[in-house]
Structure 1
């Protein structure tokens, strides 16, 4: 055999045809293709360049692989026969062919495929957002196919035109928009080296990214009428949904309730108007539910001619305190008179009878005086007002602090176990100044909890201001001489505000005679305390000093080179202000020097 012949024995088994992607980048080559390349290359070399060795470098030049990895030039990869360009099976066993395959199997599957949302913030309903898929270290990139999936459905396919054979990283972007009907969608991307047919590599799949459309709460209906029998149990449903899931607040006849869920349980139904407000960071909405109690028990009327006089006609008593009232009959024809009450019931045939209890401890107490005259009975109810001052009046911030000047915040006043609501008045104070007050129209007579919000837009004068809430029970002329009042502990507001320079905020001009010393001071007020810095040209006779929260520039023996603008900057986390001081250096007055 002459020239560059490859001597092989017929293999007992067919050579594998699947490509090898060994992580070195490039393109796939089958084993039989490697043998063909070696044979055909050696023949072409002999025809053109007689007895020239078949080195790995020559193979690269002929095949124009355009790569420079040093492993391909390693001397142990090729050992041509010294007298000719002949390769034999003894010189090139199958394990050496494996090394040759390493030279040509130059593809690399992606090291990683990562999906993330590139637009900052939550995905809002009907708003466009960007998602990005990063593919790391893949080769050859022009054989890469990248597919986007939404809920397992292909929505976009990307191809790449870069012809480099080295491993590179690439990205693909997708613009998405969701509506509330979709609730949420799952996105993923898939990167695959596609060589056609069986030579394609298995795809590498990214993480799954779940995206949901955030929207303000919505109601199925804004109003609802509920008809119940007196005392019937019922469940009221707000029926609001949103993303994120909203929080709920209920009120009855304008009085805030403690319930914070989508449903409200009513153990004993009475006619009332309930409001449910559903809120998330996207907004809020309110539903009104009108509860109608049918066929209420009629209240017996008192005949105008009933000869009963109650002294006093109205009693105001603190729950748990003693009380008494006298019933007088103005007729002599009575056969019996008495009191009907939860406690202290009694009867007599006299014309005067007194109801007395040592402790009023029933909220349902409604004393009633009656007389029997011949075959007729008449009655009068004692108007009794039971009251209870709150257990606690607490003030807290509804929004995270500290406050920032110019932004709106809410303070909440929460009152526990107070009665009756129709006599309650709540007042907000800033220091000694009345800010807001509220009264209630509810006829609820038993202790309940209520809350009252104050919206404030603070300024710097409100820093360290004390806000407090007072609960007063205005019980009328028969009540205590001093209005029962419970006041919260003061809430001290911490307000952050941007710096303001002490003194003038506008540009200043400072004049100095050449050779004199001059000091430029700068200080500012802000919360948090601002950082003060000076910006000026460096000079040997210019020095910056700090005294307390004031920073100064001291110019010693000023010259014309010190003239110019000196900029003072005050900054904190809320804002930044800048003030310029113009330094003017004037020459020495010669006449003045000579006269001295």
Structure 2
């Protein structure tokens, strides 16, 4: 029975306590809290001041209801303080009752917060390396944070933000919650770091900057199947006997891939590297090469088809039906013979004079794949300038972009040519008329060039003969006048040069001679007279 009375008393007190909760929404003046909102860290002190009213407070029925802390009154101003706030859901109320019995109330909203105790990042149901193309779930666990509704969780890949998440929970007390994000890693994610950040954003009244707690960083290992490096290779690959063969199967993958080669010839040793090199290929090296590249994530097979060709066995240059010297003005046929070349349709032959190309030749409408011999010809008309020149030819087997680079080239021997041509005067071939005075020198030039070297035969006005390229007289006399004929000849032909020489009398010399003779005679007469007189 006593307990029943106690219960009734408690109920009445609660009723009286809750009586203040009722209020008139049309109050002309409401109590004012300063500050109007509080954000307090759990366990920290808190305080606020309430101005109950300014004009309508004629009644002494006013106060401040609080679940914790203590108050002090200064007229119609009430201050509230708490030294250690440990209540999660709290909202003090300041009120008064007007003359009409209406109660006016203002509540002080208080947010009690607790920063995350710990933030931890992990993968859901997974540990160890990931595989490219598979889906994985990142989970960011935030421990003991309040209020959870103000928490912003951000996932990062390196320094790149992936996504922001918030909780839909409205609980005010500390809770632990896990946020998830699905990812699909690629090979570019190998070695990157994932992490998450929990930020408690409590608005302008909250701490600035907002408290942030970050997780540890997870460095990821992403396995992905091998991928070939570089561009695709030509197929087929054409090689020439004796040339090197280089097949590149280099790939990237995680884990590092292994290589297994299948070769067309059992005579070659097994190979397990990323590139296959043969220094000098032979006929057994033609065929299909398979390179199997594999790791824990998968494998890829690379196929190489190698076509084998022999270069021209020999290239020989000659003249058709001719040997020995050539004669200027005659036509001759050069022939370049290429022996045992496949395929002849890919052959280009170039004939040269010195370093000057005389033209290229191809075999048309002859797609022969087996080795054959072929002769290419070129007509030439040698000039004297060609004497001593070199002729040669070149055979190039051009198999296109898929063939060996540079294309294989075989050259012939050099033929040094001798060109015979008849004499040619170095000066003018026209007849010359030369006037010369007695006693002066005479110089006649009949110099010529020719192959073979020419000989000279002179016909002179006198009976003597001369055989040099130039004819000279130190002092001409009247008997040296007349016609001079120079015949220049070699085994190819001859040329004639004519000179007409007119010798003029030197009258000054005659006069001087007469004067000298008169003086001598006069002197002799005078001497004889003088001797006879003195006898």
Query: Which TM-score applies when normalising by structure 2?
Result: 0.51
CA contact (8 A) 1:507 1:580 kept: no
CA contact (8 A) 2:265 2:284 kept: no
CA contact (8 A) 1:395 1:411 kept: yes
Shift in Å, 1:577: 0.3
Among residues 131, 150, 160, which one is paired with 1:404 in the alignment? 131
Where 2:78 maps in the other structure, the secondary structure is strand
Write out aligned runs for 1:353-368 (5 A).
353-368=78-93
The residue number in structure 2 matching 1:593 is: 410
Write out aligned runs for 1:105-116 (5 A).
none
The residue number in structure 2 matching 1:316 is: 39
The residue number in structure 1 matching 2:212 is: 485
Distance in 2, Cα, partners of 1:579 & 1:326: 81
CA displacement, residues 13-36 of structure 1 (integer Å, 9 cap, x when unaligned): xxxxxxxxxxxxxxxxxxxxxxxx
Shift in Å, 1:540: 4.8
Distance in 1, Cα, partners of 2:24 & 2:178: 38
- Relative to 1, partners in 2 of residues 1:567 and 1:507: Cα closer, same or farther, differing over 3 Å? farther
CA contact (8 A) 1:338 1:347 kept: no
The residue number in structure 2 matching 1:579 is: 302
Write out aligned runs for 1:271-420 (5 A).
300-301=22-23, 303-305=25-27, 306-328=29-51, 329-331=53-55, 332-335=57-60, 337-348=62-73, 350-371=75-96, 377-401=103-127, 402-420=129-147
Write out aligned runs for 1:75-90 (5 A).
none
CA displacement, residues 521-566 of structure 1 (integer Å, 9 cap, x when unaligned): 32211122111111103455667374xxxx2222132112211121
Where 1:335 maps in the other structure, the secondary structure is coil
Shift in Å, 1:433: 2.6
Where 2:411 maps in the other structure, the secondary structure is helix
CA displacement, residues 553-596 of structure 1 (integer Å, 9 cap, x when unaligned): 22132112211121111011221100112223332244443347
Distance in 2, Cα, partners of 1:481 & 1:300: 37
Among residues 283, 286, 300, which one is paired with 1:560 in the alignment? 283
Shift in Å, 1:518: 2.4
Distance in 1, Cα, partners of 2:244 & 2:270: 11
Shift in Å, 1:322: 2.6
CA contact (8 A) 1:333 1:373 kept: yes
- Relative to 1, partners in 2 of residues 1:339 and 1:437: Cα closer, same or farther, differing over 3 Å? same
Distance in 2, Cα, partners of 1:357 & 1:479: 18
Distance in 1, Cα, partners of 2:82 & 2:224: 60
CA displacement, residues 462-505 of structure 1 (integer Å, 9 cap, x when unaligned): 22222222222222222233232222112222222111111235
CA displacement, residues 222-247 of structure 1 (integer Å, 9 cap, x when unaligned): xxxxxxxxxxxxxxxxxxxxxxxxxx
Shift in Å, 1:447: 0.5
User: Gaps spanning 5+ residues in structure 1: where?
Assistant: 1-296
Shift in Å, 1:377: 4.9
CA contact (8 A) 1:458 1:495 kept: yes
Among residues 139, 164, 173, which one is paired with 1:437 in the alignment? 164
CA displacement, residues 407-451 of structure 1 (integer Å, 9 cap, x when unaligned): 222121111111112212222222233322222333211111111
CA contact (8 A) 1:534 1:568 kept: yes
CA contact (8 A) 1:302 1:380 kept: no
Size of the aligned set, in residue pairs, is: 296
CA contact (8 A) 2:20 2:95 kept: no
Moved runs in structure 1, 4+ residues, more than 6 A? none
Distance in 2, Cα, partners of 1:381 & 1:583: 89
CA contact (8 A) 2:224 2:254 kept: yes
CA contact (8 A) 2:261 2:270 kept: no
Shift in Å, 1:368: 2.3
Distance in 2, Cα, partners of 1:343 & 1:433: 46
RMSD across aligned positions (CA) = 2.8
Distance in 1, Cα, partners of 2:107 & 2:39: 14
CA contact (8 A) 1:424 1:474 kept: yes
Distance in 2, Cα, partners of 1:298 & 1:421: 31
Write out aligned runs for 1:133-532 (5 A).
300-301=22-23, 303-305=25-27, 306-328=29-51, 329-331=53-55, 332-335=57-60, 337-348=62-73, 350-371=75-96, 377-401=103-127, 402-504=129-231, 508-532=235-259
Higher Cα Rg, which structure: 2
